[in-house]
Amino acid sequence: MPEQKHGDTERRLLAGALSVFCEKGYDGASIREIIKRAEVTRPVLYYYFANKEGLFHRLVTDSFEQAFAEFENALAGVVGCRARLKALIRVAFARTECSPEVARFLLHVFFSPPQEGPQFDKVRFGRRRLGLVAALMREGIEAGELAGGDPETLALAFCGLMDMHIMAKAQEPERRLTPELGQDLVDLFMDGARSGVPAV
Amino acid sequence: MPEQKHGDTERRLLAGALSVFCEKGYDGASIREIIKRAEVTRPVLYYYFANKEGLFHRLVTDSFEQAFAEFENALAGVVGCRARLKALIRVAFARTECSPEVARFLLHVFFSPPQEGPQFDKVRFGRRRLGLVAALMREGIEAGELAGGDPETLALAFCGLMDMHIMAKAQEPERRLTPELGQDLVDLFMDGARSGVPAV
DNA sequence: GTCTAGACCTACCGTTCGGTAAGCCGGGGT
DNA sequence: ACCCCGGCTTACCGAACGGTAGGTCTAGAC
């Protein structure tokens, strides 16, 4: 029975910390508020985690690894650049809709000032995701599906297009990130915004 | 002569605050470090600004208003959606290259957690810029230059594509945001990433 | 020479922060 | 009956925080 209680308390702590970090950022979040939301006293936090930084680090890596794994799963077996991008954005949007805090949290961490919070390499996480997308772009170019250009630039553009919509939802939660919107965004990325009349 | 000294001290304070806020975020920035970089004692800060929040607010509004004005100037007299987008991104990239801290600062503020720092409406600033871009898109649609779709969605996509490159430069300063890159990004946005061969 | 006011200083305040020492308590093993 | 240990408690700590009281110094007005 201790097993059950142990896991539950830890989960409450992680949930409380996620919501506070998500609202106030690392430095703005206080241990006192985290334990309040987790309905736990202070030393309990230090029983489960080394310190504030450890709790934060755990939260970041867990959230990121799970999201990243889902991205990779979504791509398995899907062929074609356009279809793969659609699979990617579908998962990203679905995740955001069903657990907005996690998505927000990761984006806030990624976009936060370099020295906010612990000194660990948030940039590394951003780059891993970017690398995944850049690989898609490279495949697309080699397959002749994409016109060309720098794969990393294309990846930045696509991630920007996707993340900006996720951030927008964070700021106005009534905005819906539907699968259809995701598909439209990929089509926009692939086909461009200009009207169909042939340019020149 | 007091006039000169007065302005200089205030400028040093603003510059110091900008660099600290930019590195550590609002909550991570301490008054002590700001005054250290400004080479000023503490009460001097409170002589020029009401408090930490006032200093921050001044910095945000000044930076934003100047950037926004430059955007509007850049658009004056330019016709055609593609050309207007190119003018916009050229100014944004040029600003980032010549004063990276200001650009970073604004993006960090815009993307920061909702309750980090003072309770003022950072969302409002984001929306003003988005409104500017959305208006461009609306014009483009009405002029038949753009295929259609929701102007706000198009604006989000374009801002994402642009901001993501600015953030990327913030994280690896050796990345260059050249005018040519800006033009290429607009062309990417307009024409899409897919190769020219007709799909299907 | 005296006064005033703007620009700035030293020294201090109360609060909140992250973190810890030391002990309580209940259940399982022996 | 005993102990042990995992999970938790109350009570406390030093440090850093944002902010202020009150005095000093200098330059210009008269």
Say how far A153 CA is from C16 C1', in Å: 45
Place of tokens 């009405």: B142
Give the homologous superfamily in CATH for domain B60-191. Answer: Tetracycline Repressor, domain 2 (1.10.357.10)
Return the axis-axis angle of helices B52-75 and B100-111, rounded to nearest 10°.
110
- Count contacts between A and B (CB, < 8 Å): 175
Determine the 3-state secondary structure of A146 from DSSP.
Answer: strand
Are the beta carbons of A28 and B146 separated by less than 8 Å?
no
Segment B113-151, tens digit of pLDDT: 999 999 888 899 999 999 999 999 999 999 999 998 999
Side-chain-side CA neighbours of residue A128 (13 Å):
13
Q: Which residues pair with A194 in a beta bridge?
A: B146
Q: Cα distance from B53 to chain A (closest Cα, Å)?
A: 14
> Is this prediction's ipTM beyond 0.95?
no
pLDDT above 70 covers what percent of chain A? 96
Least Cα distance to B66 among B42, B39, B34, B98 occurs for B98
Superfamily of the domain at A57-191:
Tetracycline Repressor, domain 2 (1.10.357.10)
CA/C1' separation B32–D29 (Å): 37
Q: Is the pLDDT of residue A199 over 50?
A: no
Homologous superfamily (CATH) of B1-49 is: Homeodomain-like (1.10.10.60)
| B120 φ/ψ sector (left φ>0, alpha ψ -120 to 50, else beta) | beta
Query: What's the helix, strand, coil split of chain A in %, to 5?
Result: 75, 0, 25
Chain D positions with an atom below 7 A of a protein C-beta are: 6-12, 16-22, 27-28
The neighbour count for residue A35, using CB atoms within 10 Å, is 21
| Predicted confidence band of residue A198 (pLDDT cuts 50, 70, 90) | low
Please say whether the dihedral angle defined by the alpha carbons of residues A7, A12, A13 and A17, taken in this order, is positive or negative: positive
The parts of chain B modelled with pLDDT lower than 50 are: 1, 199-200
Residues 6+ apart with CB under 8 A from A63: A18, A102, A105, A106
Domain residue limits, chain A: 1-49, 57-191
- Tens of pLDDT along A47-106? 999 999 999 999 999 999 999 999 999 999 999 999 999 999 999 999 999 999 999 999
Same fold: B1-49 with B60-191 = no
Over residues A120-130, the mean pLDDT reads 92
Exposed, middle or buried: residue A98 (CB in 10 Å: 0-12, 13-18, 19+)? exposed
pLDDT tens for each residue of B32-44 = 999 999 999 999 9
- Tell me, what's the pLDDT at A1? 46
